[in-house]
């Protein structure tokens, strides 16, 4: 199973418009972070987690052109604003793209992209098949067996996902004990880490993320959803404990299913 990090940045991306922080001005491509999303490939099937406003350029940059299903973590703009850019993928496949999410999130999708679901038919819109899931639910998608994980994002409950020995958690500020139990015996963990300090009400800071990693003891952890306040990639990679690495846009890893 191959995982490609399409994006590893926060809701504003890095660099932020108008930002003069040294990380925003960095010429290191690993410091340029588009909105967080991953693509999981197994055999000839591709599973996308989140579809933010940078989706089109992420797919072009990584030379990807097929999505068999989409999992949404939640309804915030940086995680679903790119849905309309699924159009060429739908046009090529000639079949609706399944979208899995909490019922609350699907209702938001229908509201914000109402033209996609209107009775009026026209050639320029994608066809999406909306499928409701709940937290702590096991379900099968295109040969992937998936466990949805309950994640707390400030006062909003959202989803993370475990697929085999791989787990993806973004926008977390707290993990319930049921989720901690569900994350045992994983090979790779992807975990949001906004900045080093101070703490944030909606996202893990680095010390909080490291506490979670210590508790779960995955074989390797990749940090994602990072702001410019996390610092330069070249410095961060030297300061992190063994087995913990900052992800970057375009990074591709192999994981046992």
Full DSSP string of 43-111: TTEEEEE---TTHHHHHHHTT----SEEE-S--SHHHHTTGGGGHHHHHHHTSPEEEEE-HHHHHHHHH
Nearest to 171 by CA among 184, 154, 146: 154
pTM (two decimals): 0.97
CA distances to 106, 159, 228, 234, 245 from 28, in Å: 37, 32, 13, 9, 16
The CATH architecture assigned to 2-254 reads 4-Layer Sandwich (3.60)
d(CA 113, CA 194): 29
Give tens-digit pLDDT for 174-216: 999 999 999 999 999 999 999 999 999 999 999 999 999 999 9
The answer to whether 188 and 165 have CB atoms below 8 angstroms apart is yes
pLDDT interval class at 234 (50, 70, 90): very high
pLDDT, position 144 = 96
pLDDT interval class at 256 (50, 70, 90): confident
pLDDT, position 124 = 85
Give tens-digit pLDDT for 67-110: 999 999 999 999 999 999 999 999 999 999 999 999 999 999 99
Tell me what the mean pLDDT of segment 224-231 comes to.
Answer: 98
pLDDT interval class at 122 (50, 70, 90): confident
d(CA 222, CA 244): 6
pLDDT interval class at 53 (50, 70, 90): very high
How much of the chain, in percent, has pLDDT values that exceed 90? 96
Q: Is 18 exposed, middle or buried (0-12, 13-18, 19+ CB in 10 A)?
A: exposed
pLDDT, position 125 = 87
pLDDT, position 257 = 83
The answer to whether 247 and 5 have CB atoms below 8 angstroms apart is yes
pLDDT, position 123 = 78
Given a cut of 80, is residue 121 above it in pLDDT? Answer: no
Average pLDDT, the chain: 96
Residues near 93 by Cβ (< 8 Å), separated by ≥ 6? 66
pLDDT, position 119 = 83
The answer to whether 14 and 226 have CB atoms below 8 angstroms apart is yes
pLDDT interval class at 120 (50, 70, 90): confident
């Amino acid at each position: 199973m191959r995982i490609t990090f399409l994006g590893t940045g926060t809701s504003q991306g890095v660099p932020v418009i108008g930002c003069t922080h040294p990380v925003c001005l960095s010429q290191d491509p690993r410091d340029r972070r588009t909105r967080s999303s991953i693509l999981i490939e197994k055999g000839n099937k591709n599973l996308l987690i989140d579809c933010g406003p940078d989706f089109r350029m992420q797919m072009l940059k990584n030379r990807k052109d097929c999505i068999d299903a989409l999992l949404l973590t939640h309804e915030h703009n940086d995680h679903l604003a790119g849905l309309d850019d699924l159009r060429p993928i739908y046009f090529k496949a000639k079949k609706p793209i399944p979208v899995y999410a909490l019922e609350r999130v699907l209702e938001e999708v229908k509201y914000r992209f109402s033209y996609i679901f209107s009775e009026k038919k026209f050639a320029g819109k994608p066809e999406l098949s909306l499928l409701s899931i709940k937290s702590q639910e096991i379900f099968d998608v295109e040969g992937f067996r998936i466990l949805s994980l309950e994640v707390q994002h400030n006062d909003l409950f959202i989803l993370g996902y475990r697929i085999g020995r791989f787990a993806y958690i973004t926008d977390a500020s707290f993990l319930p004990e049921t989720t901690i139990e569900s994350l045992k015996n994983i090979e790779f963990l992807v975990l949001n880490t906004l900045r080093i300090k101070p703490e944030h009400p909606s996202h893990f800071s680095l010390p909080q993320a490291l506490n979670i990693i210590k508790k779960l003891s995955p074989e390797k952890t990749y940090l994602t959803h990072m702001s410019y306040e996390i610092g330069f990639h070249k410095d961060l990679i030297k300061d992190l404990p063994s087995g913990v690495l900052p992800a970057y846009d375009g990074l591709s890893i192999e994981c046992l299913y």
